[in-house]
Structure 1
Amino acid sequence: MQLKKILAKDMRQALLQVREELGEDAAILSTRSLATGGVEVIATLSPAPVVKKPTEAAAVPPPSVSKAEMGAMRSELHSIRTLLQQRLNGLAWEQFSSQSPLQAVIWERLSAMGVPGFLSRQLLTAIKPGKTLDQVWKQVLGSLVKALPVLGHDPIEQGGVFAFLGPTGAGKTTTIAKLATRYVLQHGPQDVALVTTDSFRLAAHEQLRTLGRILGVSVRIVDNQHSLDDTLESLGHKQLVLVDTAGLPSHHPEQQRQLTLLRDQPQVQKWVVLPATSQAQVLRAAWKTCSTADVSACILTHLDEACVLGDALALTIERDLPVVYETFGQSIPDDIALAQASALVKRAVALGRRQAAVPVEKERLMTEYGSQSPAELRVAGLN
């Protein structure tokens, strides 16, 4: 076995040198930070095993590997890969913290807000040198406010047809109730209509019918006897039409049919309702599903129940998806407001401070930071 000790100023240079001297098949045996600065890496390139051909008399078929043994081998390789990746993440974070302590503090604050790594790295690249921690923090938050897309005006006041998409429990019907009630209180019920495409749940019909009776507005149901085209055409004289939709799984055939029907209605503005209480994967899945209907904006709901807002804000920035409203309670019509970038970021910071009171898991920080360093992972053969 050939061993090689590599000394370099940082992990990136060390891994590049390992690849240059030992090739792509090199394995990292150990790594450590040096007191004098830099890192030490011990790597090896094991020679390929020599397979001797058995004599004709002693020739036997090669022993077969059972599925259980193969599974154990794969599990062990996965464990080794995971341990090595954790170690590389740890070294990357330690190096970052020692070389850029101010930026590391900012990264921890953003992480407490739920801001994902890719957005944290973008925000940190705009930092100007020679500033204090407070100055840098204000600059980062200012950059976040500028990056956050918001509509900036109340489209409901102008009238039109609006469809609300999103997963079950996102708050679509409650948001419709708030907007419809507010409009009726200001302009009366004669020019308002409510429509539902949810023909799967009786409770959904009853909830909207009850709201319609309370407000004194028309309620229509899209089903096999009443198409969306015909329904919207019959309501063409109404100033404001709010369309509730069924929150179905993305693979459900009726979900795709529903989205296709809405996409074929260019006069309808489609908004996706995103619950701020959901994890990043759920938010992204909701947007991906609804985006096929040409979604133009979003509404952030359940802000009063959210622990962090970073994931939701990052999605709107990444997809350039303007936020129209934010909702923060069940009270109708009070707990809704026009989205303002500064207010959303302020709320995200406040929630982040609560999270910061709980000790941040160092392993999560290291993993998050390490995931934004693809070059090191590629060199080590982990990508």
Structure 2
Amino acid sequence: MKVKRYLVGSVPEALPMIRSELGSDAVILSTKEIKTGGFLGLFGKRRIEVIAAVETGGAAAPVRKPVAPSAPIVRPAAPAAFAPNGATPPLAAQAAMSAADAMSAAALEQPPAPRIAASLAASSYAGSPAHVLTSPAPAPTAQPLTGLQEELLQEVRGLKTWMRQMSAQQAQAALSGPAKKLLERLEQQEVTVDCRERLLQELQADPGFDALSEDGEALWKAAKERIMDWLQPYEPNEDAFTPKAIHFVGPTGVGKTTTIAKLAALETLKNKRSVGLITADTYRIAAVDQLRTYGDILGVPLEVVFSPAETVRAFQQLAGRDLILMDTAGRNYRSELQISEVSSLLRAGEGSETCLVLSLTARTSDMEAVALPFIRNGVNKVIFTKLDETRIYGSLLNLVLEHGLQPLYLAFGQTVPDDLEPFNSLKYSSLLLGDYEDV
């Protein structure tokens, strides 16, 4: 018996060498992962030791040379982030990502031994006789990944991520100056990578993108129109507050009380509706007095509640009003106890809904942490405040596109009711991108 050891990066790499040196009757005795020197610290420290053998007593099977294919094999290219004009990433990146995808699927679908046998069988040259390298066995049932398999899978995923990032960087480097400037602007506005990629891909789908990307003004106009197309379905109509009772919830300091005062003034003075106010914000000093002052100026009654039973009484007192706006205390929405306290005060049933109030000065991740518990319970309307206190507006776009929240109003300043406007996609896209010459 002739035994030979191979040190390779993966088992498939050893198959041609085994067939070339030992013949088609060779079998793999064992595979083992070992440590070797790395390459720039990127996944290069692990190698696979493959031990193969062939019986030498009988006549050796002739070694067949591979038959050259009659036509080149075309493999589908992996999608590239920021690929200009639909260009694909470099061939090396495509090959690495395709191999990583295949290794990921194999690691999840087959245990090690059947995988090796299947790989050897699949690598037979065209026109060569079939050979059974291992004893036939029934198809294995799904088994949990071992520690080694899980570790290898994590490394493959890391390699795929790294290759995609490298491909994206190379593709982005090939973009025109205005296109790079657009991506930089979106990144400064903290727009997520997914939204940036989507915008660029949709712009590249335009047959005239090559000429468009060289004209900064035209590219900016096209990008604003695309963002408007995304957001127009979420614009509020004139009947945004058709329910009789609206509860306003949100974290501390986002301006719920001032926003409620602005809405009460808007509905009373412009829409000529009779409005009633309820406040459960008894935690913050002078919160009740602040809302009572606004109510006295507008001639709007105010009810103060401390418990769920008092909430029922307050709604009964204001039953004759066209619209009831309820203020709740700003609480820590990472605390289940405090969330339940607020929820117990809200009136359930038809004719009422909950509106989330968020500050644009917060990061997207912080907004999501607050919004997700409400989104899971059917809350899909939001008012964004403190527009005048920030120059970063991307979080609104992120939340709308990723979670389907409908922005009703944008609030800015302290003037009641002037510093409150219904959300408008045209104005927002202009704020988000600015003017090309000024960016």
> For the superposition of Structure 1 and Structure 2, which TM-score range results when normalised by the shorter chain?
0.5 to 0.7
Please report how far the alpha carbon of residue 231 of structure 1 lies from its aligned counterpart in structure 2 after TM superposition.
1.8
297-306 vs 206-215, greater mean Cα deviation = 206-215
18 and 278 in structure 1: CA distance in 2 versus 1, 3 angstrom threshold:
closer
136 and 349 in structure 1: CA distance in 2 versus 1, 3 angstrom threshold:
closer
- How far apart are the structure 1 equivalents of 2:409 and 2:246? 13
Name the SS for the 2:382 alignment partner: strand
Bigger relative contact order, structure 1 or 2, given CA contacts below 8 A and separation 6+?
A: 1
Match of 2:120 in 1: none
Superimposed CA distance per residue, residues 316-365 of structure 1 (whole angstroms, 9 cap, x where no aligned partner): 122222211111211111111111111111111229987x5xxxxxxxxx
Match of 1:62 in 2: none
89 and 20 in structure 1: CA distance in 2 versus 1, 3 angstrom threshold:
closer
Name the SS for the 1:164 alignment partner: strand
Superimposed CA distance per residue, residues 99-148 of structure 1 (whole angstroms, 9 cap, x where no aligned partner): 44475443223223321111112222222133212444433321211111
Name the SS for the 1:178 alignment partner: helix
Aligned residues: 297
Match of 1:152 in 2: 237
Superimposed CA distance per residue, residues 33-53 of structure 1 (whole angstroms, 9 cap, x where no aligned partner): xxxxxxxxxxxxxxxxxxxxx
- How far apart are the structure 2 equivalents of 1:350 and 1:18? 41
Q: After the TM superposition, which residues 168-317 of structure 1 pair with which residues of structure 2 at under 5 Å, given as runs?
A: 168-186=252-270, 191-224=274-307, 226-250=309-333, 251-262=335-346, 264-317=348-401
220 and 19 in structure 1: CA distance in 2 versus 1, 3 angstrom threshold:
closer
Q: Please point out which of 180, 193, 197 is paired with 1:121.
A: 197
Partner letter of residue 246 of structure 2? F
Name the SS for the 2:389 alignment partner: coil
Match of 1:33 in 2: none
Match of 2:187 in 1: 111
Please report how far the alpha carbon of residue 254 of structure 1 lies from its aligned counterpart in structure 2 after TM superposition.
3.3
Matched, 1:93 2:168: yes
- How far apart are the structure 1 equivalents of 2:348 and 2:226? 37
Please report how far the alpha carbon of residue 195 of structure 1 lies from its aligned counterpart in structure 2 after TM superposition.
0.5
Partner letter of residue 277 of structure 2? L
Please report how far the alpha carbon of residue 91 of structure 1 lies from its aligned counterpart in structure 2 after TM superposition.
2.0
Match of 1:326 in 2: 410
19 and 314 in structure 1: CA distance in 2 versus 1, 3 angstrom threshold:
closer
84 and 307 in structure 1: CA distance in 2 versus 1, 3 angstrom threshold:
farther
Q: Does the 8 Å CA contact 2:275/2:324 hold for their aligned counterparts? A: yes
Superimposed CA distance per residue, residues 186-232 of structure 1 (whole angstroms, 9 cap, x where no aligned partner): 4779x221101223334322222222233332111221384323321
Gaps of 5+ in 2: 1-6, 14-38, 45-89, 108-154
352 and 334 in structure 1: CA distance in 2 versus 1, 3 angstrom threshold:
farther
Partner letter of residue 268 of structure 2? V
Please give the TM-score of this superposition, normalised by the length of structure 1: 0.67
Match of 1:366 in 2: none
- How far apart are the structure 2 equivalents of 1:319 and 1:20? 32
90 and 288 in structure 1: CA distance in 2 versus 1, 3 angstrom threshold:
closer
- How far apart are the structure 2 equivalents of 1:237 and 1:125? 53
18 and 298 in structure 1: CA distance in 2 versus 1, 3 angstrom threshold:
closer
Superimposed CA distance per residue, residues 128-187 of structure 1 (whole angstroms, 9 cap, x where no aligned partner): 13321244443332121111111132545x673211111111111111111112333347
280 and 85 in structure 1: CA distance in 2 versus 1, 3 angstrom threshold:
farther
- How far apart are the structure 2 equivalents of 1:166 and 1:330? 18
- How far apart are the structure 2 equivalents of 1:327 and 1:347? 14
154 and 348 in structure 1: CA distance in 2 versus 1, 3 angstrom threshold:
farther
Q: Does the 8 Å CA contact 2:278/2:305 hold for their aligned counterparts? A: yes
Q: Does the 8 Å CA contact 1:193/1:238 hold for their aligned counterparts? A: yes
Bigger-Rg structure (1/2): 2
Match of 2:141 in 1: none
- How far apart are the structure 2 equivalents of 1:335 and 1:223? 30
Superimposed CA distance per residue, residues 70-101 of structure 1 (whole angstroms, 9 cap, x where no aligned partner): xxxxxxxxxx99x9899657623332224444
340-349 vs 263-272, greater mean Cα deviation = 263-272
% identity of equivalent residues: 27
120 and 225 in structure 1: CA distance in 2 versus 1, 3 angstrom threshold:
closer
Name the SS for the 1:227 alignment partner: helix
Matched, 1:130 2:208: yes
- How far apart are the structure 2 equivalents of 1:352 and 1:331? 31
Q: CA RMSD in A?
A: 3.6
- How far apart are the structure 2 equivalents of 1:325 and 1:209? 23
Please report how far the alpha carbon of residue 255 of structure 1 lies from its aligned counterpart in structure 2 after TM superposition.
2.0
Q: Does the 8 Å CA contact 1:262/1:293 hold for their aligned counterparts? A: no
Q: Does the 8 Å CA contact 2:387/2:412 hold for their aligned counterparts? A: yes
Name the SS for the 1:274 alignment partner: strand
Name the SS for the 1:270 alignment partner: strand
Partner letter of residue 235 of structure 2? V
Please give the TM-score of this superposition, normalised by the length of structure 2: 0.59
181 and 254 in structure 1: CA distance in 2 versus 1, 3 angstrom threshold:
same
Q: After the TM superposition, which residues 303-382 of structure 1 pair with which residues of structure 2 at under 5 Å, given as runs?
A: 303-350=387-434, 356=439
Please report how far the alpha carbon of residue 24 of structure 1 lies from its aligned counterpart in structure 2 after TM superposition.
9.2
Q: Does the 8 Å CA contact 1:194/1:241 hold for their aligned counterparts? A: yes
